[in-house]
Amino acid sequence: MLNSRNKVKAALVLIPTVIVVFYFIWGFAVYTAFLSFTKSRFLPNHEIIGFDNYILLFANDRWWVAYSNMFIFGALYIGGCIILGALLAVLLDRLTKGETLFRTIFLYPMSLSLVVTGLAWQWILNPTSGIQQIVRTAGWDEFNFNWVASSDFAIYTIVFAALWNGTGLIMILFLAGIKSIDDEIWKAARIDQIPVWRIYFNIILPQLRTVLLTAVMLLGFQVVRSFDVVVALTNGGPGYASDVPARYVFEYFFQRSKIGQGAAAAVMMVMTMILIVLPYLYYEIRRKEI
């Protein structure tokens, strides 16, 4: 074979990554999935017990709280990021001066970890000293904003924090998309006397469908994995009112020593992600067929 010396070296270089991919990623994933069917508790146990873990999981009210929280949080977070991100991108696009300044302001939260984000918002939303207190001292004695401590509303606090952190990236994606649209379309639209906001709404944004879909998918994945911000802000509380699957898994693995159940929950997380990807794949396949 020609160039065999180089080709052999090239292949050897990839060996560590082969190990990473097959053992540390896919091997581990399959193993954990396997564990979801076993009697593992404190330590992995390879005795298979069929779907028992899943039955227990689905019978657990806690799990459903966590699972539904994921969707509530997800819908608000994704929707919020998209709408706010798109809005901010449009606003920035209209700017003639100061774009860099505003862009930095909207983007810097992205550089902060979700733990810092969660802790910061925990501080702000603290009932005794945070926003509730400010508004109360300003005169509205009855103002209630103790969502962090409320079973019903705790999950929404997570939305604020996550939005604050995640909008920046979405805004940048939209901004890049907007700027990549041909100038000529602008000129044509202006000549047709179409008002600016309509240009954005009816002409530009529809062209950003791919950006939109990518954004939704990425955000969706983030939602399924959100662990840091939940632990930092509410730690799933009060009680387990603001728990999410990612944290549930962790708790069952390491605090409750019920590895089998935790694994089942983890598998459910992956299943949900696959569900998210399906519409995207479907869209991609349809697009290529056309």
Partner 1 sequence: MIRRYTYKTALLYSALVVSALFFLAPIYVMLVASFKPLNEVRETSIIAFPQNWTIEPWLKAWSSACSSLDCMGIKPFFLATFEIAIPAMILAIFIGAMNGYVMAKWRAKWADVLFGLLLIGSFVPLQLFLIPLAVTLRELNIYGTTTGLILIHTIYGIPLTTMLFRNFYITLPNELVQAAVMDGAGFFKIFFSVILPLSPAIFIVAVILVFSGIYNDFLFALTFGDTSKRPIMAAVQNIVSSSYGIKEHNMNIAAVVIAALPTLLLFLVAGKFFVRGLMQGAVKG
Partner 2 sequence: MTLKLNNIGKSFDKVEVLRNISLEVEEGDFLVLLGGSGCGKSTLLNCIAGLEEVSSGTIEIKGRNVTMVDPADRNVAMVFQSYALYPTMSVSRNISFGLECKGVSKVERSKAVNRISKLLQIEELLDRKPSQLSGGQRQRVAIGRALVRDPDIFLLDEPMSNLDANLRNQMRSELRELHGKLNRTFILVTHDQIEAMSMATKVAVLDQGYVQQFGTPYEIYYRPQNKFVAEFIGLNKMNFLEGEIRLTSEVPFFCKGSHKVPLTGYEFSENYPSDSRPVIMGIRPENIYRSKDRLEGDVFLEVKLPVSRSELTGGDAQVWFDFEGQEIASRFRSSRTPDIGTLTTLFLDVRHASLFDAKTGERLWRKPGAGTDLLTKSHFKRSNKQELKES
Residues that bind partner 2 in the complex, under the rule CB under 8 A: 1-3, 5
Interface characters, 85-124, with partner 1 (x: CB under 8 A): ---x--xx-xxx-----x-xxxxxxxxxxxxxx-xxxxxx
Minimum CB–partner distance for residue 239 and partner 1 (Å): 16
Minimum CB–partner distance for residue 10 and partner 2 (Å): 14
Contact 168, 109 (CB under 8 A): yes
Which one of partner 1, partner 2, none interacts with residue 288, CB within 5 to 8 A by kind?
none
Q: Does 228 bind partner 1 (CB under 8 A)?
A: yes
Q: Does 13 bind partner 1 (CB under 8 A)?
A: yes
Q: Does 28 bind partner 1 (CB under 8 A)?
A: yes
State the number of CA atoms in the 13 A half-sphere of 123 facing the CB. Answer: 5
Minimum CB–partner distance for residue 11 and partner 2 (Å): 17
- Rounded-to-integer distance, Cα 3 and Cα 166, Å: 47
Among left, alpha and beta (phi > 0; psi -120 to 50; other), residue 194 is: beta
# residues near partner 1 by CB under 8 A: 90
Contact 262, 43 (CB under 8 A): no
Of the residues 153, 181, 227, 256, which one makes contact with partner 1 according to CB under 8 A: 227
Which one of partner 1, partner 2, none interacts with residue 35, CB within 5 to 8 A by kind?
partner 1
* 3-class secondary structure, 38: strand
Minimum CB–partner distance for residue 190 and partner 1 (Å): 13
Q: Does 137 bind partner 1 (CB under 8 A)?
A: yes
Cα 50 from chain centre: 31
- Rounded-to-integer distance, Cα 15 and Cα 122, Å: 45
* 3-class secondary structure, 45: coil
Which one of partner 2, partner 1, none interacts with residue 1, CB within 5 to 8 A by kind?
partner 2
Contact 41, 259 (CB under 8 A): yes
